[in-house]
Structure 1
Amino acid sequence: MRRALVLSLVATTLAACALDPAPVPTAQKGSARALGVYTTDLESDLERQAYDALARDARRREHRFLDAADPGHLARAIRVEQADLEAGVHSPEEIFQLGAQIFHATFTPAMGYGGKDRPHLARFHEGRRGGPDAMRCDSCHWRGGPGGAGDAADNTYLAGDGDRQSSALARNPPSLVGAGFVELVAREMSGELARARDALVGKAKAEGKPARGPLVAKGVAFGELEARPDGALDGTSLLGVDTDLVVKPFGWKGHFASLRDVVEDELNIHHGMQSTWLVTHGEPARIGSFGGTDPDGDGVADEIREGQVTALALFLAMQEVPVVDPPEDQDHIVHLGAGEARFHALGCASCHIPALPLDSAVYSLPSREGGAEVRVDLAADAAAPRITPPFDGGPLRVYLYSDLKRHDMGPGLAEKQADRGVRPGTFLTRPLWGVARSRPYLHDARAPTLEDAILLHGGEAQAARDAFAALSESERADLRVFLTSLTRARRLSVP
């Protein structure tokens, strides 16, 4: 009876009216809760989750009526001032809500959507300018829950001639769960690599001859670097990282070091929404050639303010941590245990490293306007479920199942062209946490199942792929059950 009630509540939005939600107040400065739609909490009771989801839907509907009566209401509601964020006007919960509103907002021409020299919608992008190809962030990031992956139909086609799919690079929207911790791990790895580089430079200068040594961060090997007495560096033996030694954990090819960079690039490419920072610092090939404060020539300046970039980046950083959800059936539990052992035996864990240590869970965004940085403790204030410290003490462990390196994946996955300097067959190791809720798989969504994705591996993963292919059906089932346990907490939502 209880289960039937929950399913009934989730199946329809009409019942939202019966909940008699409280009147929705007008958004006020310093009060993100005026929007009152999203929260970092996760109610464990599914029936309560269903009622909460319907209440959120009722509030969203009410805001649409407000926008109909007062055009521009929603656009004004998602305006966020950087000075307020730096001054601590908003709590972490409120920042999360503000970022969520931007993530779920529909961008319109009046807000700056698109550009004068861009089509209204473009399936196949032209150069670095992008489409635009969507009006909302959540149009493509939805599968498995808020900030999730996209379906194959959500693929975007980048850096083409604007006309032919064959000219473009296919990209499936990746899941954003745990994104803040991914960036924090990458930041600390970059710091370790920089310190190793500086030590080699110091040694070369002190000894008056070249110094060569391995680069290792959090136990992950990034090849070798040679420093010369004049300070010059030879990075020809580096592996999986650029010569700047900055670990870039975002993008299928590993192009972005920070969520803030991701936010600005994706808003520009997919929506034609340009941040004030990008307008000031971006090159014409990326932002348009009309110049001034409106380089895309659409008649709208100040499309995305710095505060909105910060709020959206923090919303992504505060996404939940994926979980391991074991099966209840005893036979399946046996499969899971055997599958985890097989994951290591096949060599999958050499790139998809189960866990990396993290010194600090504090996510900070330095000000680009000369003010204070904005900080959020992800262990305390991120969306639930949150990271938990090890029972035996020691540093936090981030179970992302990735080494955050680029690898050669072989000719089968190689594209027709390089992507911003990264070779056609080279891709970043995708984190596997939450993987059960993020299909389809691979950069272009060609793999409908995890088994298909494994069998398409090549290059550096060829040996592990061949070992998997040689398994019996029962042995493959072990690995499939293990990977299926890498999922997200259940959240009921009204579409």
Structure 2
Amino acid sequence: MGGAMDANRKSRKHHWVVALALALPLSAWALWHLPALLGASSENMEAATGIVASLAPATPGARTANEVALIGDGPALGMHLEEADIAAGRIGFDDVLAHGEQLFTAKFNRFDGQGRPAATGTGVLRDPEGQPVFLRTSGPDANACSGCHNDPFIGGAGEVVANVFVLAQALEPVTESVSPDFSNERNTLGMQGSGAIEMLAREMSGQLHAARLHALARAQATGLPVRTGLLANGISFGALTARPDGSLDTSEVAGVDADLVVRPFHQKGAVVSLREFSNNAMNHHHGMQSVERFGTARTGSDDHDADGIPDELSVGDITALTLYQAALATPGQVFPDAFEARRAVLQGERSFDAIGCSGCHVPAMTLRSRLFTEPNPFNPPGNLRPEDVDRGHAFDLTRQGELPRLEATRGGGAVVRAYTDLKRHDLCDDDIRHYCNERVKQAGIATELFLTRKLWDVGNSAPYGHRGDLTTLTDAILAHGGEARAVREAYRALPPGQQAAVVEFLKSLQMLPPGTRSLVVDSRYRPLNKDALAQALGP
């Protein structure tokens, strides 16, 4: 086990290892943490309760003999998972996902460690005196992940009331202002299909890195500069020039950082993985701090935010939360009932491609491997990485997780119909500047650049735009300028009926209720054969 995991074990002496296959009662959790709240030692509490550090798995739903009823308030999270137990297979995949779902839906309270009085949303220490328990602008600003990601169901998007004020969480003193001088207002995106998106980004990063290595090798072999185009899954990310001395000219790199790591999360494309996203969000929005980011090994304290609860989220907890989000259902397509509406969907899809929308909103890309693997090798420090563990985790995105799932391809791959190129673009020009309102740089990314929005859930993830301030699909299309200006004008040149058909097509791209058996369905979520439907409806 790597050093980070050893440090994690040392810093979690007061948390027991995974117990009773997700059946450990909430009362036992509260008893274990009561010493931290009251000032007693956890060793004494262990002697008093008989709870030991290693318990064998039991039948789900079983009760434990040392259960003691807790009357009154207590934590929302009943237990914690240990990374070693997940890696060793002592906890089944479905149980790991169940724990991840509990983390996603739990309304955390102070018994869990909710709040971060002595730390900002980026972890910078501050005076805890008088800090707000909740503050809409700077956080903590939510009770549960599902408080924002819930439309049309858990793990979905959020309407404008759920907007977050990105980067305000770093300010000290905190600000109550929603002015763009202090933060960037962003709408909540849906999480469906996130496992496929992360793996697609990883593979694309790998292809870009391979091109860089090849150019460097050629430059060193020839003694001459080598300029090479950067292609990943057919998407151009500009070019770079490798020099014989091993240095690089990245001035022509476009749509991705100079390190050539595709970051598929956040509307700016600023976050590498679901794990990094989760570690950030738990601290920012809830004041729930993970051991791998804020534990003793990294900060010198097991209670970095000084809220009285040590080691609030284990490495295993973050793994479970990551795998749960990665295993959420894949968005698909819902055809309306009326004959003319169905025909409009098919006609609109053709027009969408014909006028150039598919140049950035690429309808489909193919994964070489259908496996989601964890942890991500591109994770930045403060997030579990492959070298930190002896054994990682993997599951098949086409066979495991919520239905519906990705379509498998021959050779072990899968099709991802996300309608994105995972590249940043500038949608502003002198006349159209709706998407250029931001003033605060995030992760060093130019304020006018945004990641191409995934459209595979656009039909039921309104409102639109990075602020959620556009209420119709037509408004969102017409707000495109800059790199998309020619496509916008092509849309405007369509006859009204064809414009409406494009919108009808976009409305058909939806998150589907978990358990739906097919990615292409009718209004009652019954499977449809799209090719047969197209033949029946005609041109």
Q: Note the 1:124-139 alignment, pairs <5 A.
A: 124-125=137-138, 131-139=139-147
Q: Give the Å deviation of 1:281.
A: 9.2
Q: Note the 1:433-444 alignment, pairs <5 A.
A: 433-444=456-467
Q: Which amino acid aligns with 1:412?
A: H
- Check whether the contact 2:75–2:109 (CA below 8 A) recurs between aligned residues: no
CA 479–282 in structure 1, closer or farther in 2 if over 3 Å, else same: farther
1:155 aligned onto 2:156: no
1:258 aligned onto 2:248: no
Q: Which amino acid aligns with 1:304?
A: L
Q: Kindly name which structure, 1 or 2, has the bigger radius of gyration based on alpha carbons.
A: 2
Q: Which of 313, 319, 339 is the aligned partner of 1:304?
A: 313
Aligned twin of 1:387: 406
- Check whether the contact 2:77–2:102 (CA below 8 A) recurs between aligned residues: no
CA 205–280 in structure 1, closer or farther in 2 if over 3 Å, else same: farther
Give the distance between the partners of 1:210 and 1:455, measured in 2 at CA. 43
TM-score (norm 1): 0.81
Q: Which of 397, 406, 418 is the aligned partner of 1:400?
A: 418
Give the distance between the partners of 1:89 and 1:199, measured in 2 at CA. 42
- Check whether the contact 1:33–1:97 (CA below 8 A) recurs between aligned residues: no
Q: Which amino acid aligns with 1:230?
A: D
Q: Give the Å deviation of 1:327.
A: 1.9
Aligned twin of 2:238: 223
Q: Which of 25, 29, 41 is the aligned partner of 2:19?
A: 29
Q: Give the Å deviation of 1:297.
A: 2.0
Q: Give the Å deviation of 1:473.
A: 2.2
Q: Which of 210, 233, 249 is the aligned partner of 2:264?
A: 249
Larger deviation: 136-145 or 158-167? 158-167
- Check whether the contact 1:351–1:429 (CA below 8 A) recurs between aligned residues: yes
Give the distance between the partners of 1:185 and 1:429, measured in 2 at CA. 14
Aligned twin of 1:6: none
Q: Deviations over 1:106-159 (max 9, x none)?
A: 11122111122341111112xxxxx11001000000002120001100001122
- Check whether the contact 2:77–2:103 (CA below 8 A) recurs between aligned residues: no
- Secondary structure of 2:229's counterpart equals strand
Q: Give the Å deviation of 1:280.
A: 4.5
1:114 aligned onto 2:115: yes
Give the distance between the partners of 1:177 and 1:378, measured in 2 at CA. 12
Give the distance between the partners of 1:230 and 1:147, measured in 2 at CA. 48
Q: Give the Å deviation of 1:370.
A: 3.1
Larger deviation: 142-151 or 357-366? 357-366
Q: Which of 187, 191, 194 is the aligned partner of 2:209?
A: 194
- Secondary structure of 1:225's counterpart equals strand
- Secondary structure of 1:221's counterpart equals strand
1:352 aligned onto 2:361: yes
- Check whether the contact 1:132–1:271 (CA below 8 A) recurs between aligned residues: yes
CA 404–274 in structure 1, closer or farther in 2 if over 3 Å, else same: same
Q: Give the Å deviation of 1:458.
A: 1.4
Give the distance between the partners of 2:211 and 2:496, measured in 1 at CA. 46
Q: Which amino acid aligns with 1:228?
A: R
Give the distance between the partners of 2:457 and 2:463, measured in 1 at CA. 13
Aligned twin of 2:71: 69
- Check whether the contact 1:33–1:94 (CA below 8 A) recurs between aligned residues: no
Q: Give the Å deviation of 1:394.
A: 8.1
Aligned twin of 1:144: 152
Aligned twin of 2:447: 424
Q: Which amino acid aligns with 1:302?
A: D
Q: Give the Å deviation of 1:72.
A: 3.5
CA 395–84 in structure 1, closer or farther in 2 if over 3 Å, else same: closer
CA 387–491 in structure 1, closer or farther in 2 if over 3 Å, else same: closer
- Secondary structure of 1:480's counterpart equals helix
Give the distance between the partners of 1:283 and 1:420, measured in 2 at CA. 21
CA 475–312 in structure 1, closer or farther in 2 if over 3 Å, else same: same
Aligned twin of 2:102: 101
- Secondary structure of 2:208's counterpart equals helix
Q: Give the Å deviation of 1:223.
A: 0.3
Q: Give the Å deviation of 1:105.
A: 0.5
CA 393–472 in structure 1, closer or farther in 2 if over 3 Å, else same: farther
Q: Which amino acid aligns with 1:490?
A: P
Q: Deviations over 1:293-340 (max 9, x none)?
A: 222222222011101100000000001011111122111121111100
Give the distance between the partners of 1:124 and 1:361, measured in 2 at CA. 39
Q: Which amino acid aligns with 1:90?
A: I
CA 404–28 in structure 1, closer or farther in 2 if over 3 Å, else same: closer
Give the distance between the partners of 2:296 and 2:194, measured in 1 at CA. 25
- Check whether the contact 2:226–2:243 (CA below 8 A) recurs between aligned residues: yes
CA 296–168 in structure 1, closer or farther in 2 if over 3 Å, else same: same
Aligned twin of 2:395: 376
Q: Which amino acid aligns with 2:137?
A: F
* Higher-helix-fraction structure: 1
Give the distance between the partners of 1:185 and 1:279, measured in 2 at CA. 29
- Secondary structure of 2:352's counterpart equals helix
Give the distance between the partners of 1:420 and 1:387, measured in 2 at CA. 31
- Secondary structure of 2:111's counterpart equals helix
Q: Give the Å deviation of 1:33.
A: 7.3
Overall identity of the aligned pairs, in %: 37
Aligned twin of 1:164: 177
Give the distance between the partners of 1:196 and 1:115, measured in 2 at CA. 43
Q: Which amino acid aligns with 2:115?
A: G
Aligned twin of 2:490: 467
- Secondary structure of 1:109's counterpart equals coil
Give the distance between the partners of 1:208 and 1:234, measured in 2 at CA. 16
Q: Structure 2 regions of 5+ residues with no counterpart? A: 1-16, 26-60, 62-67, 118-127, 376-383, 516-539
Give the distance between the partners of 1:235 and 1:491, measured in 2 at CA. 43
CA 83–228 in structure 1, closer or farther in 2 if over 3 Å, else same: same
CA 180–239 in structure 1, closer or farther in 2 if over 3 Å, else same: same
Q: Give the Å deviation of 1:471.
A: 2.7
Aligned twin of 1:455: 478
Q: Deviations over 1:158-184 (max 9, x none)?
A: 223522101221011110000000001
Q: Which of 348, 357, 366 is the aligned partner of 1:339?
A: 348
Give the distance between the partners of 2:287 and 2:219, measured in 1 at CA. 48
- The alignment covers a number of residue pairs equal to 424
1:123 aligned onto 2:142: no
1:487 aligned onto 2:510: yes
Give the distance between the partners of 1:123 and 1:82, measured in 2 at CA. 33
Q: Deviations over 1:263-303 (max 9, x none)?
A: 0011111111111111149999xxxxxx6222222222201
Larger deviation: 409-418 or 226-235? 409-418
Aligned twin of 1:327: 336
Q: Give the Å deviation of 1:359.
A: 1.1
Give the distance between the partners of 2:328 and 2:310, measured in 1 at CA. 30
Aligned twin of 1:4: none
Give the distance between the partners of 1:186 and 1:80, measured in 2 at CA. 28
- Secondary structure of 1:379's counterpart equals coil
TM-score (norm 2): 0.75
